[in-house]
Amino acid sequence: MARLGRGNSVVRWPWVGQTVLAVVLLATLLQAQSPPSKPLPKPPATRTDNVTETLHGIEVTDPYRWLEDQEAAETRAWIAAQNKYTDALLRDRPGRAEIAKRLGEFLKVDSVGRPVERGGQYFFSKRRADQDLSVLYVRSGLAGADEVLVDPHPMSADHTTSVQWIDVSRDGTRMAYAVRQGGADEIEVRILNMETRKDLPDVFPTDRYFSFSITPDKRGVYYVRHGKEGPRLYYHTMGAPLSEDKEIFGKGFGPEKILYHWLSEDGQWLLGVLLHGSAADRTEVYLYNTTRSGPVVPVVNDIPARFFPVFAGDMLLLHTNWKAPLGRVLAASLQNPGKDNWKEFIAESNATLEDISAVGGRVIALYTENASTKVKVCDGAGTFIRDIPLPAIGTVVGMSGRWESKDVFYTYESFLIASTVMQYDVSTGEQKIWARRNVPIEGDKYEVKQVWYSSKDGTRVPMFVVYPRGMKFDGSSPALLTGYGGFSASSTPYFTADAAVWVERGGVYALANLRGGGEFGEAWHKAGMLEKKQNVFDDFIAAAEWLIANKYTNSTRLAISGESNGGLLVGAALAQRPELFGAVVCSYPLLDMVRYHKFLVARFWVREYGSAEDAAQFRFIHAYSPYHNISPGAKYPAVLFVTGDSDTRVAPLHARKMTALMQAASGSERPILLRYDTKAGHSGGIPVSKLVDKLAEELAFLFWQLDAPPSQSPSSSGRGPRSGWLDAGRRGK
């Protein structure tokens, strides 16, 4: 059953008169005589079939190994029963319809992606307010009319087939685009002839493609496909059978490696970047002269550090953390790219260098400083010119532009400003809005604060807290805490509709910048990986304790949520400190860490987590693995697990097995639920109508379990965001 709300304590006032006291006593008596809350129905029964193994001298029992078989009839029946159970508890939850309506007002607005310019044409994606999916468009010139190129809506009746553009030829006459089923990582690649507006016969079948480039002469394409043996770089001649594609590079690289490529604007040079696993602490860079068809030449393959190359005219720039934990940029000639010819282009600073782009003869550097984005523009020699002004603490996502063009496009967002695409002139520093999402939130009604707290070992950790302006800090507010803490990914301020609805209804939203991320460079990342992964969970738990100690909330009103590696985070937190939380949403999670590396592409993550096949690594993995640290009879918070069949990145078996385990083990009467979408996955592609329903269900679940009113009137009047910076951008100032 749901926890009782506040009001269980007895408050005494010496001045209360007999009449008031009588009313209080009568109310108490009536409450005592009222029927007790109806207990929740029991979850579907799940059979156990214990599989016991001895791993490195420790006996490990898995009672739900049979649920790993995703296609077995028994598993499918179990999934259907779990969805039916979740429907019974959440489908008609009070306030859900109102929440869905408000989410729709945030999500069902015109949304335009960052464009790429080729041959004077601008290619981009756009979803109108009345559409479910993004459509591919082109605009001839900045002031031209928008023309639809590919509309995915007719491709599937339920709108679970989506499209995205992945490359455009230099002259803008060919566009490669991906077709994705559900949320799977695998895509089919098609090429549109812009002159005829028809697809070419060359179709690349559904597979895992890591990069794709059309040559300037349009006679062929380079692409990286990750097969069973590992990643390989191929060249395909247009019109020829795919079976005749030429393997350029990758032979001998195993399936645990990741390979990307980049093609220079003139098509002469091709770069290959080999990663030793996701967020690898080591990458290799190779260069291939396409005009000579000679050997692939190593630029760097013998230094244990990260190197990410960027073409900048006749220069090769290397963004690296070699001898610079916070990042720097080295430069070399494409003709002589060897290490002996490297020169420092941008020195390491006191902020983390996240990315670089070469546009209009300039180099734009994106930094993370105290967990928010700073953007600097340098000239062709690496000398600082100016900062790009941003309105507030927030995040810049990507830069698109060409070395030969002065225009760069970037996307900015923050907690209270939805994604806004800006057009920036690198020669003058002028910028204006290309597109904005007009969401109905008034940012001046809310506060954004960055706080610092001490983790278990004394490490100082930052956290962003968003809440209604004027909120009373009496510990009674519902709070939603999230984080990630892995793969060197920086958690910077971003806009989400569910967080906006949460704070509108009086909630506190908190984002913790945990170790394992990249906010403070590679040292911060390494402090939260492998044998130090427990630091991430300690940081998260300390964030929860800080919110409670500072009276932002209390443990009965504190919820946590996380996805993917963040799902592992909240899974570990609920296993280690169940009394600290009232509710948990755990999405597309990793939970059985003893076996995770055996499924799908999880071999990419062994350098981050380790593997139970290694005796030393098994010890620390087994110690925190959520699936192996659930205690029978412990009083766990309410949990909603979220996953789906189309997740081809994190195996859905984690959520299936953990749901069964916790339903059997939990000693509380709080619900343990599974929402299993047979078409949803890790890579997006979900139609907006389904996204609204998904988020409404999760928020209704949280409001229910935190005993918070989901129908509190929104503070917004329905007008768009107030921001002088955005308005100035719209005027071109």
Encode pLDDT of 659-685 as tens digits: 999 999 999 999 999 999 987 677 677
Burial class (CB in 10 A: 0-12, 13-18, 19+), 361: middle
3-state secondary structure of 362: strand
Burial class (CB in 10 A: 0-12, 13-18, 19+), 717: exposed
Active site annotation includes 488: no
pLDDT at 683: 67
CATH number for the segment(s) 70-104+441-705: 3.40.50.1820
Amino acid identity at 177: Y
Instruction: Give Cα 602 to chain centroid, integer Å.
Output: 17
8-state DSSP, 82: H
Report the alpha-carbon distance of residue 395 to residue 414 in Å, rounded.
6
Q: Say how many C-beta atoms besides its own lie within 10 A of residue 318's C-beta.
A: 24
The CA distance from 677 to 680, in Å, is 5
Q: Tell me the three-class secondary structure of 151-180, residue by residue.
A: CCHHHCCCCCEEEEEEEECCCCCEEEEEEE
Q: Are the CB atoms for 79 and 71 separated by under 8 Å?
A: no
Q: How far is the C-alpha of 516 from the C-alpha of 525, rounded, in Å?
A: 4
Give the pLDDT confidence score for residue 648 in this predicted structure.
Answer: 92
Which of 682, 683, 716, 723 is labelled catalytic? Answer: 682
| SS3 annotation, 184-250 | CCCEEEEEEECCCCEEEEEEEEEECEEEEEECCCCCEEEEEEECCCCEEEEEEECCCCHHHCEEEEC
Q: What is the mean pLDDT of each run of 10 residues along the chain (733 residues)?
A: 29 30 32 53 96 97 98 98 98 96 97 96 97 97 95 96 96 97 93 98 97 98 96 98 96 95 96 91 94 90 96 97 97 94 97 96 97 97 96 91 95 96 96 95 94 98 97 97 97 96 97 98 97 98 98 98 98 98 98 97 96 98 98 98 94 98 97 90 81 97 94 43 31 28
User: Half-sphere exposure of residue 332, counting CA atoms within 13 Å on the CB side?
Assistant: 19
| Helical (H) or strand (E) element with 468 | strand 460-468
Q: Which one of 125, 488, 564, 723 is the catalytic residue?
A: 564
Which pLDDT score, from 0 to 100, does residue 24 have?
31
DSSP conformation class of 411: E
Closest CA to 567 of 582, 579, 584, 581: 584
Instruction: Return the pLDDT at 37.
Output: 59
- CA R_g for the chain: 27
Strands 460-468 and 446-454: antiparallel
User: Any idea where the domains of the chain sit in the sequence?
Assistant: 70-104+441-705, 349-438
Q: In Å, what is the CA distance from 65 to each residue of 53, 70, 393? A: 12, 11, 46
What does DSSP assign to residue 440? -
Please state, in angstroms and as integers, the Cα–Cα distance from residue 62 to each residue in 48, 82, 521, 642, following that order.
9, 20, 38, 21
Residue 292 pLDDT: 87
Question: What was the pLDDT predicted at 727?
Answer: 30
**3-state secondary structure (DSSP) of residue 559:** strand
Catalytic-residue membership of 564: yes
Query: In the numeric block, which tokens belong to residue 97?
Result: 């319809």
Give the span between the Cα atoms of 138 and 398, in whole angstroms: 20
The pLDDT value given to residue 712: 57
* CB of 301 closer than 8 Å to CB of 285: yes
Q: How many CB atoms lie within 10 A of CB 531?
A: 13
Answer for the pair 239, 201: CB distance below 8 angstroms, yes or no. yes
Alpha-carbon distance of 191 to 253, in angstroms, equals 28
3-state class of 373 per DSSP? strand
